[in-house]
Amino acid sequence: DTAVSQTPKYLVTQMGNDKSIKCEQNLGHDTMYWYKQDSKKFLKIMFSYNNKELIINETVPNRFSPKSPDKAHLNLHINSLELGDSAVYFCASSQGRGLNYGYTFGSGTRLTVV
């Protein structure tokens, strides 16, 4: 059983489209995250939810909107996609706020905007 699963694994779409990436964890963790990895492999946190409550909201364009229907799911919706949104997006989860336990990551969604 996959601990943190993301769908889709690959996403190719045109500029201006709206797309969603879904994430689910079956670890019973309270906190979930979205990270963006750019072409230089740099990982930057975007959002974090703890028990469905938004606790971290980094400087991210408001075209990006996370949604957490329950503590096992954290989806990412992106409006009006731009070329610069091309990246690998990782979902992660942790017990508590992750500071002592670290994160468990999904396998990533490679988004390509053309």
Binding residues (CB under 8 A) for another protein: these are 35, 41-45, 48, 55-56, 90, 92, 97-108
Q: 69 — phi, psi (to 5°)?
A: -70, -30
CB of 70 to another protein, least distance (A): 22
Closest CB to another protein among residues 15, 43: 43
* Shortest distance (Å) from residue 90 CB to another protein: 7
**Closest CB to another protein among residues 75, 109:** 109
Q: How far is the CB of 48 from another protein (least distance, A)?
A: 7
